[in-house]
């Protein structure tokens, strides 16, 4: 079974059941929202999509706290997260699907992907990165979060020990920068397993999470020579 099919066929629902009560706990730290909070000129953002959005809780916060008039769209592999999210957050458009083939067309001012790429089947990784890139408008923003160990590594997914399923931790932000179409605007690293406030502290490789904000430009980063 591939990682994507495992998530679509139920593991996404299992993740949602284990975590749903914590998702919109007001005391839970949300590094993507924290980084977004520092951004100026938020009024220019009229469309947001989050891939691997779970029930859409973060999109609902974007809309409520920062972007009341923006179109907010979410895609997740869990049918349960999507169906619950539709009733909890009717102001958000939610779709069941994968990051490698999101069932949404068009370009968005802001694309959010937080702790999803480490789940993606390696056969779908480049397709997923391309799908994310396609959704970011020229001049748009990419808000990306994931683990950031010192070197790429995989770990057995302990919830399904009978399957050959792993989490793959690596610098995903570097993949977008390598395209030459993105520039990093901001980066926060933090203790994924232990941060209790937004205080910036040094953290070990194995527990390091990162959140980056990148700006896309199709031609702006190519000086003509
Ligand atoms: C670790 S959770 C993170 C949820 C949310 N992004 C957050 O920041 O809390 C990973 C999410 O990605 C979803 N997911 C896993 N594989 C996916 C895939 N291939 N395409 C879309 N969503 C996926 C899961 O169902 C789950 O909601």
Cα separation, 184 vs 174, in Å, equals: 10
Ligand 1 mean position, distance from CA 223 (Å) = 37
39-74 burial: b if 16+ Cβ within 10 Å, else e: beeeeebebbbbbbbbbbbbbbbbbeebbeebebbb
Going by alpha carbons, the residue nearest to atom 18 of ligand 1 is: 98
Ligand 1 center to 70 CA (angstroms): 22
Does pLDDT of 99 surpass 80? Answer: yes
- Centre of ligand 1 from the C-alpha of residue 173, in Å: 17
Q: How high is the pLDDT of residue 100?
A: 97
Of 171 and 2, which is predicted with more confidence? 171
Q: Which residue has the higher pLDDT, 62 or 165?
A: 62
> Of 8 and 134, which is predicted with more confidence?
134
Determine whether 151 is exposed, middle or buried from the number of CB atoms within 10 Å of its CB (0-12, 13-18, 19+). exposed
Q: What is the pLDDT of residues 129-154, one digit of tens each?
A: 999 999 999 999 999 999 999 999 99
CATH for 3-17+30-216, among 1.20.1250.20, 3.40.190.290, 3.30.460.10, 3.40.50.150? 3.40.50.150
Question: Which ligand 1 atom minimizes the distance to the CA of 13?
Answer: 25
Q: Would you give the DSSP letter of residue 107?
A: -
Instruction: Supply the residue whose CA is at minimum distance from atom 12 of ligand 1.
Output: 52
Q: 2 pLDDT band (50/70/90 cuts)?
A: confident
192: left (phi over 0), alpha (psi -120 to 50) or beta: alpha
pLDDT classification of 212: cutoffs 50, 70, 90? very high
Q: Ligand 1 pocket: which of 22, 36, 75, 76 to mutate (most atoms <8 Å of CB)?
A: 76
pLDDT of residue 3: 81
Question: What is the model's pLDDT at position 7?
Answer: 87
- pLDDT reading at 24 higher than 80: no
Where in the chain are the domains?
A: 3-17+30-216
Name 182's bridge partners.
216
Give yes or no for residue 1 having a pLDDT over 80.
no
What is the reported pLDDT for 27?
84
Cα-to-chain-centroid distance, residue 28:
17
**Whole-number mean pLDDT of the chain?**
95
User: How does pLDDT run across 151-164, given as a tens digit for each residue?
Assistant: 999 999 888 888 88
Burial class (CB in 10 A: 0-12, 13-18, 19+), 178: exposed
Q: What is the pLDDT of residue 75?
A: 98
């Amino acid at each position: 079974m591939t990682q994507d099919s495992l998530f679509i066929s139920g593991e996404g629902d299992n993740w949602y059941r284990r975590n749903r009560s914590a998702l919109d706990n007001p005391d839970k730290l949300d590094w993507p929202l924290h980084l977004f909070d520092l951004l100026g000129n938020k009024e220019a953002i009229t469309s947001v999509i989050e891939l691997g959005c779970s029930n859409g809780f973060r999109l609902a916060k974007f809309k409520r706290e920062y972007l009341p008039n923006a179109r907010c769209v979410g895609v997740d592999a869990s049918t349960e997260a999507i169906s619950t999210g539709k009733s909890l957050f009717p102001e958000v458009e939610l779709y069941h699907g994968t990051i490698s083939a999101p069932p949404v067309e068009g370009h968005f001012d802001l694309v959010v992907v937080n702790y999803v790429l480490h789940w993606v089947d390696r056969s779908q990784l480049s397709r997923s990165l391309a799908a994310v890139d396609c959704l970011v408008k020229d001049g748009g923003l990419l808000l990306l979060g994931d683990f950031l160990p010192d070197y790429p590594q995989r770990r057995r997914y302990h919830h399904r020990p009978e399957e050959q399923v792993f989490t793959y931790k690596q610098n995903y932000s570097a993949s977008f920068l390598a395209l030459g179409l993105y520039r990093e605007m901001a980066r926060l690293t933090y203790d994924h397993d232990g941060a209790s406030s937004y205080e910036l502290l040094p953290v070990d490789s194995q527990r390091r999470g990162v959140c980056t904000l990148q700006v896309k430009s199709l031609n702006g980063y190519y000086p003509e020579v």
